[in-house]
């Protein structure tokens, strides 16, 4: 954290997006996280994502639970809507927000504790309902706010700051999400924005639940030699399985790829996701392949990154539930609340 | 790109745009911080080290520092650097005790200094502590040269000149006022170890058009200003035309208003952007209701019975043709009535008193051939500095030339090579005082430049002694100092400590940082989030970073030195460090020489 506020500086030199907004316009309050926290870097990547996608701030909602990670929505897009919910209960609130207004771009930011411990049940059900949101897990393997105890994502053998090793098997949110029927599963690293930003863009534009597990080193409690989630060890163990790029609607693909080496997936917004596999042994469009690939990488001591699984064919929660297209705040009150008589009719219909 | 060599003092010096832009390399952020802390005497002394005459320059410097000021890249107006210098001059305490004193035992060398202007007195100032004896010859009854005779008193009160010049003279130089040197040959016949010519550019340019010599009412600007300054002229006609568009024209028109001019016009042959006058000299003139008439090219003085009645001008129109060449076209002709014309179309140096057989070479324009580094003429031991050396420039340039000439004179007198000069040095010390605590005010806020209060219009013209600018009041300058971006507090990066967490990149309020694969400069410049398009400003490229082998890149152009990168850096790879430029003067050369001799023994 810093004592002075980050000054807001304007001028012709700074790039503007289609809405005429600068990068600074998408920023939020000053972060009070530790200096060097991976979460701040993810915040930077999210700002870049929404800036590049020209998202009007009033069309976006930021959700979070409790934890270091869950402070971060305060640090971006301070003109957007937001909800800082109870610990681990963000998916329920996000589901409600989705049901009430399916036109909002929904970004949920959670941590390994908020998602994989206290919020595991909520997370699972948001996945299986395919709630249309980008769900970012800022995964550092420790409970930073309570001084660095191991979290549910800590690897076996990874040591705490004072040297004690973790004995319990970690939960891998990506594998869990794939088995639960997630339609967009990716993994990245806070220190690799070149990889992370396209994934966040694709995830946000994906219609359905997009989980991005971002390894985000805790610079205070988990950035030492015995840690498997330090900056150094993450850089050493990560291997990009699928290079991903997001191409917005009406934009030509600028980079030319070798024929047959890439897969194009059309998104519902008209944009495209370009996938380039680093090896041909598996398809990111097959659940079985994906899980097998992640597991074998883990056995080799590697951290598989990139877009690990995508399925654009599924309906999202609002479609499945056949909810109305219009946001509820634009629906006439008479329709939303048709009165006692209608209630009686409804109840009578069940008699 | 190769990693940036930040050990070269020029790299960080260039980041301090004001200091880099100042010919004398004044430590501007340093003295502004002194003012902010109420240390006015220290602020004055820090100024004096490089520019010798802070009180004078705080009023009339050409201030090349201000257009260079970093502030204009993020805000509208530069910091009022020049007027803050005046604050140091106005509020300083007794500073003389802190000046190096001249030793009572002299070193046996004697220097003749011709002219007692800013360049000459800078030489005296630098050589006095080294034990030189000096004879200073001045043709006028008072010291100062151009600043005494040509800068009007309402801009620069004589007491300010007296004080700063006396501080040097008091240390023990032989001053010969009203003593014009008529012959260099005669001077050289006396024994001097070296001679410095600091006689300025005293000759105003003539405009020889029909009617020029038919009347007494046409004056050469700088001669006329001198006559006013010394009280030889105290009145002027009512309708005055000033011909010219430089700063002398501005001094002439404003002076004319104070000695009886009612309808004063400045006539310039070109367009506004071609005028040489600084904005801050033109604006007060316009404020005082001087008419500015552009695109009028003078053709004839109209004289009737020995009396000037007007001047005829061609009205010009300028355009740029398809090939980009400038074209001018006469579109009309007008006669502007007047009773006085003052010519302010330039000045030049003039050396009728230097015999041409002395081995001092002059070029085809009668300008002496002077070495631009050593300031030595083609005759050994004879040096030129100030406007005398390379024609009219400005005061701060003259001071710097004085410093350099003093080094040369010292080396000449000690039989050292004139070209073997000490390079610039630097000191770099962390500005960190504690967690989130810096030894400078690092917050940034938009704040408009605070204008210096002036004497109300109705009171200005009573006499020529009323100084128009009153100087800052304390409430104003205390806000103005906060506008300084502390460019001398440098962002210093140690690649080996970086863990590539991106914290600095994310926090930077101007997005001037990035970590990227090393590449060609033009490619790297594009990779920064705010692309570094100003090639006049360097980009910093680190050594390879330990974890990925990429490089840290910083664009120096728009950095506001807020220090947030260093605050957010978990490993102190970034630190804010106070940069102090070490500019060698004659005394440093002397000290260095003693050291060398000792080593030799």
Tell me the chain A residues in contact with residue B442 when contact means C-beta distances shorter than 8 Å: 4
CB A188 within 8 A of CB A196: yes
Taking only residues 53 to 82 of chain B, the set having a beta carbon closer than 8 angstroms to any beta carbon of chain A reads 73-74
Nearest to A191 among B502, B531, B571 (CB): B502
Mean pLDDT, chain A, whole residue set? 92
CA distances from A44 to A122, A243, B477 (A): 27, 21, 38
The tens digit of pLDDT for each residue in B230-241 reads: 999 989 999 999
Determine which of B154-163, B316-325, B469-478 has the lowest per-residue pLDDT on average.
B316-325
Which one of 3.20.20.70, 3.40.50.300, 3.30.70.20, 3.40.50.2300 gives the CATH number of domain B489-582?
A: 3.30.70.20
Question: What is the pLDDT averaged over residues B390-413?
Answer: 95
Note the pLDDT of residue A257. 64
Q: What would be the CATH architecture of the domain defined by B101-201+349-413? A: 3-Layer(bba) Sandwich (3.50)
Coarse DSSP helix, strand, coil percentages of chain A, rounded to the nearest 5 percent: 35, 20, 45
Q: Give strand pairing partners of B314.
A: B297, B333
Q: What is the pLDDT of residue B324?
A: 84
- Across B56-83, average pLDDT: 94
Would you say A85 and A110 are in contact if contact means Cβ atoms under 8 Å apart? Answer: no
Lowest mean pLDDT segment, chosen from A307-316, B62-71, B589-598: B589-598
Region A50-74: mean pLDDT is: 96
Question: Which one of A7, A40, A193 has the shortest CB-CB distance to B509?
Answer: A7
Q: Which of B25-29, B71-75, B201-205, B304-308 has the highest mean pLDDT?
A: B25-29
| Model pLDDT, residue A72 | 94
Contact A223, A328 (CB under 8 A): no
**Yes or no, beta carbons of A13 and B437 under 8 Å apart:** no
A281 vs A242, A306, B268, B326, B560, CA distance in Å? Answer: 12, 15, 80, 69, 51
d(CA B374, CA B417): 10
Q: So what's the pLDDT on residue A241?
A: 87
Residue pair B568/A2 in contact by the 8 Å Cβ criterion = yes
Over range A170-179, report the average pLDDT: 96
Interface predicted TM-score (ipTM) of this complex, two decimals: 0.91
Tell me the count of A-B CB pairs closer than 8 A. 96
Chain B residue closest to A234 (CA)?
Answer: B547
Closest residue of chain A to B546, computed from CA coordinates: A232
Residue-range domain boundaries for chain A: 23-328
Report A:208-237 residues touching B (Cβ under 8 A): 217, 219, 223, 231-232, 235
| Minimal Cβ distance to A4: which of B442, B569, B570 | B442
Report the alpha-carbon distance of residue A319 to residue A341 in Å, rounded: 29
What SS3 state is found at B347?
Answer: strand
Determine the average pLDDT of the residues in A278-288.
80
Stated as kind and residue range, the H or E segment containing A127 is helix A120-129
- The pLDDT of residue B243 is above 80: yes
Q: Average the pLDDT over A84-113 and give the result.
A: 96
- Check CB contact under 8 Å for A13 and B547: no
Closest-CA distance of chain B to residue A203, Å:
21
Contacts of A251 (CB under 8 A, 6+ apart): A271
Between positions 434 and 493 of B, the ones with CB within 8 A of A are 436-437, 442-445
Per-residue pLDDT averaged across A40-64, rounded? Answer: 96
Chain segment B212-232, per-residue pLDDT in tens: 999 999 999 999 999 999 999
Neighbour tally for A217: CB within 10 Å: 31
Q: What is the mean pLDDT of chain B?
A: 93
CATH 3.50.50.60 holds for B204-347: yes
Do B101-201+349-413 and B204-347 share a fold? yes
Q: Average pLDDT in the A230-243 region?
A: 92
Q: What percent of chain B clears pLDDT 70, i.e. is strictly above it?
A: 99
- Please give the pLDDT value at position A258: 65
B410 membership: H or E segment, kind and range = helix B395-413
Assess contact for B382 and B197: CB atoms under 8 A: yes
DSSP state, residue A94: H
What is the separation, in whole angstroms, between the first and last Cα of chain A?
62
User: What per-residue confidence (pLDDT) applies to B595?
Assistant: 61
Cβ of A223 within 8 Å of Cβ of B445? The answer is no
Task: Tell me what the mean pLDDT of segment B99-108 comes to.
Answer: 91
In this prediction, residue A19 has a pLDDT band, given cuts at 50, 70 and 90, of very high
The topology under which CATH files domain A23-328 is: Rossmann fold (3.40.50)
At B594 the pLDDT is 61
Q: Which chain A residues touch B571 with a CB distance below 8 Å?
A: 36
- CA pair distance B425, B455, nearest whole angstrom: 44
Among A1, A4, A28, A37, the strongest candidate for a mutation testing the B interface, having the largest count of B CBs within 10 A, is A4
- pLDDT reported for residue B601: 47
pLDDT of residue B479: 94
Q: How far is B272 from chain A (nearest CA, A)?
A: 26
**Are A13 and B558 inside 8 Å of each other by CB?**
yes
CB-neighbour burial class of residue B537 (10 A; exposed 0-12, middle 13-18, buried 19+): middle
Q: Is A49 helix (H, G, I), strand (E, B) or coil?
A: helix
Q: Quick check: B537 contacting A, CB < 8 Å?
A: no
- Set of chain A residues whose Cβ sits within 8 Å of the Cβ of B500: 191, 231, 235
Between A274 and B539, residue with greater pLDDT? B539
Beta strands across the sheet bearing B326-337: B296-304, B307-320, B326-337
For residue B365, pLDDT beyond 90: no
**Model confidence at B18: pLDDT above 90:** yes
User: What is the structure's pLDDT at B229?
Assistant: 93
- SS3 sequence of B258-309: HCCCCEEEEECCCCHHHCCCCHHHHHHHHHCCCEEECCEEEEEEEEECCEEE
Residue ranges per structural domain of chain B: 9-97+445-483, 101-201+349-413, 204-347, 489-582
| DSSP assigned state of A70 | H
Contact B574/B492 with Cβ under 8 angstroms?
A: yes
User: What digits encode the pLDDT tens for the residues B541-597?
Assistant: 999 999 999 999 999 999 999 999 999 999 999 999 999 999 999 999 888 766 665
Residues present in chain B in total: 601
Q: Does B509 touch chain A if contact means CB atoms closer than 8 Å?
A: yes
Please tell me the predicted confidence (pLDDT) of residue A274.
Answer: 85
Over residues A46-68, mean pLDDT: 96
Q: Which homologous superfamily is B9-97+445-483 in? A: Alpha-helical ferredoxin (1.10.1060.10)
Per-residue pLDDT, B599: 53
């Amino acid at each position: 954290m810093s004592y002075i506020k980050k000054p807001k500086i304007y001028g012709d030199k700074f790039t503007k997006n289609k809405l005429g907004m600068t990068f600074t316009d998408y920023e939020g309050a000053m972060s009070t996280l530790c200096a060097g926290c991976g979460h701040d870097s993810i915040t930077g990547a999210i700002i870049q994502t929404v800036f590049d996608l020209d998202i009007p701030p009033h069309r976006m909602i930021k959700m979070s639970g409790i934890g270091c990670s869950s402070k971060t929505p305060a640090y971006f897009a301070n003109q957007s809507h937001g909800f800082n919910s109870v610990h681990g209960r963000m998916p329920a609130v996000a589901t409600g927000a989705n049901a009430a207004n399916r036109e909002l771009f929904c970004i949920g930011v959670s941590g390994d504790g908020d998602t994989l411990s206290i919020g595991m049940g909520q997370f699972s059900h948001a996945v299986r309902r395919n709630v249309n949101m980008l769900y970012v897990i800022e995964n550092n393997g420790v409970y930073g706010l309570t001084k660095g105890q191991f979290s549910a994502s800590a690897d076996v053998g990874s040591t705490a700051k004072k040297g004690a090793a973790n004995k319990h098997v970690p939960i891998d949110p990506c594998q869990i999400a794939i088995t639960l029927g997630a339609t967009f599963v990716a993994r990245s690293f806070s220190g690799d924005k070149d990889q992370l930003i396209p994934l966040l863009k694709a995830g946000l534009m994906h219609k359905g639940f997009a989980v991005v597990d971002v390894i985000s080193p805790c610079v205070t409690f988990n950035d030492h030699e015995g840690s498997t989630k330090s900056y150094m060890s993450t850089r050493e163990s990560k291997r990009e399985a699928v290079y991903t790029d997001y191409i917005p609607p009406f934009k030509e693909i600028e980079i030319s790829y070798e024929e047959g080496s890439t897969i194009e997936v059309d998104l519902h917004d008209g944009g495209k996701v370009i996938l380039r596999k680093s090896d041909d042994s598996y398809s990111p469009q097959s659940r079985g392949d994906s899980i097998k690939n992640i597991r074998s990488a883990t056995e080799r001591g590697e951290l598989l990154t990139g877009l690990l699984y995508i399925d654009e064919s599924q309906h999202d929660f609002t479609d499945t539930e056949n909810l109305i297209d219009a946001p509820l705040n634009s629906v006439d009150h008479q329709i939303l609340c048709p009165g006692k008589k209608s209630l009686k009719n409804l109840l009578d219909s069940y008699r | 790109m190769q990693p940036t060599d930040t050990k070269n003092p020029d790299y960080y010096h260039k980041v301090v745009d004001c200091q880099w832009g100042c010919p004398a390399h004044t430590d501007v952020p340093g003295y502004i911080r002194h003012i902010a802390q109420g240390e006015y005497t220290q602020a004055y002394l820090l100024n004096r080290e490089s520019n010798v005459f802070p009180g004078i320059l705080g009023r009339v410097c050409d201030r090349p520092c201000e257009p260079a000021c970093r502030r204009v890249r993020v805000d509208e107006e530069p910091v009022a650097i020049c007027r803050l210098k005046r604050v140091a001059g106005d509020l300083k305490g007794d500073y003389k005790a802190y000046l190096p004193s001249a030793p009572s035992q002299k070193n046996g060398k004697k220097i003749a200094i011709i002219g007692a202007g800013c360049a000459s007195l800078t030489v005296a100032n630098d050589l006095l502590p080294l034990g030189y004896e000096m004879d200073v010859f001045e043709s006028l009854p008072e010291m100062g040269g151009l600043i005494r005779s040509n800068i009007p008193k309402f801009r620069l009160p004589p007491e300010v000149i007296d004080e700063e010049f006396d501080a040097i003279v008091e240390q023990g130089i032989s001053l010969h006022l009203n003593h014009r040197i008529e012959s260099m040959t005669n001077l050289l016949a006396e024994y001097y170890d070296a001679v410095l010519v600091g006689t300025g550019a005293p000759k105003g340019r003539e405009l020889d058009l029909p009617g020029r010599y038919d009347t007494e009412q046409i004056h050469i600007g700088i001669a006329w200003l001198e006559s006013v300054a010394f009280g030889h002229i105290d009145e002027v006609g009512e309708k005055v035309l000033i011909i010219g568009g430089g700063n002398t024209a501005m001094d002439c028109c404003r002076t004319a208003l104070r000695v009886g001019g009612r309808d004063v016009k400045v006539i310039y042959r070109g367009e506004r952007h071609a005028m040489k006058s600084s904005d801050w000299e033109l604006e007060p003139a316009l404020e005082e209701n001087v008419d500015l008439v552009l695109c009028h090219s003078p053709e004839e003085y109209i004289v009737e019975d020995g009396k000037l009645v007007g001047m005829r001008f061609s009205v010009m129109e300028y355009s740029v043709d398809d090939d980009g060449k400038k074209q001018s076209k006469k579109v009309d002709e007008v006669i502007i009535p007047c009773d006085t014309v003052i010519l302010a179309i330039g000045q030049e140096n003039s050396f009728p008193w230097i015999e041409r057989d002395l081995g001092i070479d002059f070029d085809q324009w009668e300008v002496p051939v002077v070495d631009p580094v050593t300031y030595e003429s083609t005759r050994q031991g004879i040096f030129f500095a100030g406007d005398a050396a390379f024609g009219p420039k400005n005061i701060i340039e003259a001071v710097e030339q004085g410093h350099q000439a003093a080094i040369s004179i010292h080396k000449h007198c000690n039989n050292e090579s004139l070209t073997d000069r000490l390079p610039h040095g630097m000191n770099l010390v962390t500005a960190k005082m504690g967690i989130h605590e810096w030894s400078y005010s690092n917050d940034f806020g938009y704040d408009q430049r605070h204008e210096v209060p002036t004497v109300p219009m109705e009171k200005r013209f009573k006499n020529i002694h009323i100084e128009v600018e009153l100087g800052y009041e304390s409430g104003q300058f205390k806000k103005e100092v906060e506008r300084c971006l502390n460019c001398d507090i440098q962002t210093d990066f140690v690649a080996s400590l970086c863990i590539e967490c991106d914290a600095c990149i994310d926090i930077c309020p101007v997005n001037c940082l990035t970590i990227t694969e090393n590449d060609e400069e033009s490619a790297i410049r594009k990779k920064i989030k705010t692309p570094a398009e100003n090639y006049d400003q360097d980009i910093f490229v680190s050594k390879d970073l330990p974890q990925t082998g990429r490089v840290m890149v910083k664009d120096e152009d728009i950095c506001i030195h807020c220090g947030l990168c260093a605050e957010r850096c978990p490993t102190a790879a970034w630190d804010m460090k106070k940069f102090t430029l070490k500019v060698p003067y004659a005394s440093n050369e002397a000290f260095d020489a003693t050291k060398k001799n000792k080593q030799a023994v």
